[in-house]
Chains A and B, each alone.
Chain A
Amino acid sequence: MNNVSESVLEINGLEVVYSTNRGDVKAVRGIDLDVRRGEILGIAGESGSGKSTLAVALLRLLKAPGKVTGGSVVFNPAGRSPVDLLKVHGEELRVLRWSSLSYLPQGSMSSLNPVMRVQDQFKDVILEHAPDRRNSLHEMIPRLLAQVGLEPRVAKMYPHELSGGMKQRVLMAIAVALEPDLVIADEPTTALDVTIQRVILQSLADLRTDFGVTLMVISHDMGVHAQLADRVAVMYEGELVEVGDVRQVFKDPRDPYTRQLIESIPKLGRRAS
């Protein structure tokens, strides 16, 4: 929060193309975007606007037929030299992952390995990137779980024994386990019931407060952004149509599409004519 001007991530002219048998689909078309350290950046946009593609490309998880066709993504992890995320490979990339750049996936239902206990899925990643913490695991895992409002016994459970909301919170705890510089959360609340959704949003806000992580939150639900984000970026057909402070975007949208998006939200208390 203190060093807002510094960027964790500088995206320049990023382009992603899916080549299908019906021709190429340009899912991301030249995006320029900075993510500032310590902020919560919301990415909004309709279904199919390329939000997930953007996230996946940043995380270097893009699978065929998707392909990055241009641009650069400079990542500035604290205490390390900047790297172009699109150029790192192999071991270098693997080391960067999680300790600096972590991910909160959309599919909480299926992102946990069904045959491993929750604690093993923590251990896995912690030991991989910070083997020196082996001895503190026993206190670390309950602490992380408590952070997201889960009891220690959850560590001994299997994913199928958890409800959707609990799973999502386990994923959140894993995401911040190594105190990364940036967490990219793709639709962290969709597919959850409203009450649980609220709990999750609460916990996400807590993460920033408690760990100081930078969050990039992707959601199509403008309500989520209004509640959570510091800044909002709006995507439309693969392009960034507007980036700005959350108040500015909601109260004074500059782009016609953004305006349309905000107007089409059915709000309680306002009956359509």
Chain B
Amino acid sequence: MTADAPPVVVVDESQDSAPPPSGVRVWLSRHPLAAYAIRRVGLYFVELWGALTIAFFFFRLIPGDPIQTLIQTLQQNYMYNQQASTELIARYQQEFGLTGNLFSQYLKYMEKLVLHGDLGPSLINYPTPAQDVILRALPWTIGLLGISAVLAWIFGVILGAIAGWRRGKLGSAIATNLSIALSHVPYFFVALILVYIFAYSLGVLPARSAYDSNITPGLSLEFIGSVLKYGLLPGLSIVIIGTFSWILSTRMLMVPVLGEDYLVYAEAKGLKGWRILTRYALRNCYLPQITAFGISLGFIFNGNVLVEQLFNYPGLGTTLVTAIQQLDFNTILGVTNIAIFSVLTAVLLLDLLLPLLDPRVKYWK
């Protein structure tokens, strides 16, 4: 703060320098929903591009030549006598788009990604393209993560609403305190405990892989049953912790809502209790939870990596860890990009959907 600094006059950013209203602007202001959608989709692309770019440079700037080191790892592990020549390294660097300066690598990568949906060859399964490796794992992850996440959300929102509604009751207090204690516990702690109880001690549920290998995958009842059985433990570990955190946040949304005038009013109207809960209280707090759900997908993905790894589940998490252990840029980046894409797209869809569900959403800020 120099003594001679000019006087501080804060100029509000929202003021208008009053350009003459153009036709487009007028149209947009007449159609706020359309304007909102256009803006939102625009923002989506900006964010998508930004996130993909940051991820790309992040991985390229990490020290280490993936090809060289992979080859040496392979030598060390299995092929004591095989020799890696500089030609070999050069060839695969070319193949994996690691030649040229960083910026041209980036342009090439983005071009292939955007125009052809091509993530480049995978290293963990050369020469299979990374997108094939990822797409193979994706259904398992969507099945495990998606279903568990949705279940956790449904259970959590319902139980949280009830816990908020029945504030002061013992059950509610227990649920709330448990949630506070456990909502931030890593999924895999629960997974470990579940495995120990159900797989080791009782031996009733499998703790590895995704289905019984005696069954040929297909649309048979047997196969689906097996998938469910094998997915139970990993799924449960995500559902349990997830439910706790949704209980907590729903309750946090619910309590202020319970103090709202319209709830007192609804009570004065002589409506039945469950009706007030569902039509008045819950409806006002599940909507923000929908947005939160979209955002949370990303976090679940984080925890999911470890759960899949623990259960040797053939999903993206396991693929990711394998890829990282082998420095497979294309696959790691691909998985990261898929996660970015799904979170952003989910949030976009929810944001576009929300004005239809929630009349209050102010879609102009």
Q: Which of A92-100, A131-139, A193-201, A208-216 contacts B (4 or more CB under 8 A)?
A: A92-100
Interface size class of B (residues with CB under 8 A): 20 to 34
**Segment 138-183 of B: residues with Cβ below 8 Å from A:** none
B227 to chain A, nearest CB (A): 38
Which chain A residues lie closer than 8 Å to B264 at the CB level? Answer: 61, 105, 111
Nearest chain A CB to B54's CB is how many angstroms away? 37
Chain A residue contacts of B268, Cβ below 8 A: 59, 61, 97-98, 102-103, 105
Complex CA–CA separation, A199 to B134 (angstroms): 66
One of A59, A96, A112 near B262 (C-beta < 8 A) = A112
Interface membership of B284, Cβ < 8 A: yes
B residues in contact with A163, CB < 8 Å: none
Asked if residues B269 and A113 are in contact (CB atoms below 8 Å), the reply is: no
In the complex, which range does the number of interface residues on chain A fall in? 20 to 34
Closest-CB distance, A6 to chain B (whole angstroms):
24
C-alpha spacing A124/B268, complex, angstroms: 12
User: A105-B261, A125-B271, A128-B271 given as contacts; is B360 within 8 A of A113 (CB)?
Assistant: no
Task: Determine the chain B residues whose CB is within 8 A of the CB of A129 once the complex forms.
Answer: 270
B270 near A113: Cβ-Cβ < 8 Å: no
Smallest beta-carbon distance B283→chain A, Å = 5
Residue pairs across A and B with CB atoms within 8 Å: the count is 74
| Residue B30 interfacial (CB < 8 Å) | no
- When distances are taken between beta carbons in the complex, the residues of chain B under 8 Å from A111 are 261-262, 264-265
Instruction: Tell me the chain A residues, 244-270 only, with Cβ under 8 Å from chain B.
Output: none
A160 vs B359: C-alpha distance in the bound complex, in angstroms? 8
Set of chain A residues within 8 Å of B262, measured between Cβ atoms: 110-114
Nearest CB of B to A215, in Å: 16
Does B280 make an interface contact (CB < 8 A)? yes
User: Does B95 interact with chain A (Cβ within 8 Å)?
Assistant: no
Cβ A113 vs Cβ B284 within 8 A: yes
- Chain B contacts to A: CB under 8 angstroms: 260-262, 264-272, 275, 279-280, 283-284, 287, 358-360
**Across-interface contacts of B260 in A (CB, < 8 A):** 110
CA distance A102 to B267 in the complex (A): 11
B45–chain A nearest beta-carbon distance, Å? 30
Residues of B within 8 A of A112 (CB): 262, 265
User: Which residues on the B side are within 8 Å of A96 (C-beta)?
Assistant: 270
> Complex formed: what's the CA distance from A157 to B268 in Å?
23
Let me know if A124 and B360 touch, CB within 8 A. Answer: no
Q: In whole Å, how far is A100's beta carbon from the nearest beta carbon of chain B? A: 9
A128:B279 contact, CB within 8 angstroms: no
| Complex A-B: 21 CB contacts under 8 Å | A61-B268, A94-B272, A96-B270, A97-B270, A98-B270, A99-B270, A102-B268, A103-B265, A105-B261, A105-B265, A105-B268, A113-B262, A113-B283, A113-B284, A114-B262, A124-B269, A124-B279, A125-B270, A128-B270, A128-B275, A158-B359
Partner of A107, one of B261, B270, B284, B287: B261
Query: Which 6 A/B pairs are nearest by Cβ-Cβ distance?
Result: A97-B270, A158-B359, A107-B261, A110-B261, A111-B265, A103-B268
B269 touches A158 (CB 8 A): no
Q: How far is the CA of A161 from the CA of B362 in the complex (A)?
A: 12
Partner of B287, one of A95, A115, A124: A115
Contact (Cβ within 8 A) B283 A115:
yes
Residue among B261, B268, B279, B360 having the largest count of chain A Cβ atoms under 10 Å: B268
Which chain B residues border A105 with CB–CB below 8 Å? 261, 264-265, 268
Task: Give the complex CA separation of A18 and B266 in angstroms.
Answer: 23
* Whole-angstrom CA separation of A174 from B262 in the bound complex: 13
Q: Which of A93, A96, A97, A113 has the most CB of B within 10 A?
A: A113
Complex Cα–Cα for A125 and B265 (A): 11
Give the most central of B264, B269, B272: most A CB within 10 Å.
B269
Given A110-B261, A114-B359: 12 more A-B contacts, CB < 8 Å: A94-B270, A96-B270, A112-B265, A113-B279, A114-B284, A114-B360, A124-B275, A125-B269, A125-B270, A128-B269, A160-B359, A160-B360
Chain B residues near A117 (CB-CB < 8 A): 359
Q: Please, how many angstroms separate the alpha-carbon atoms of A125 and B358 in the complex? A: 22
> Is the pair A115, B269 in contact by a Cβ cutoff of 8 Å?
no
Q: A4 contacts the other chain (Cβ, under 8 Å)?
A: no
Nearest CB of A to B147, in Å: 28
Residues of B close to A25: CB separation below 8 A: none
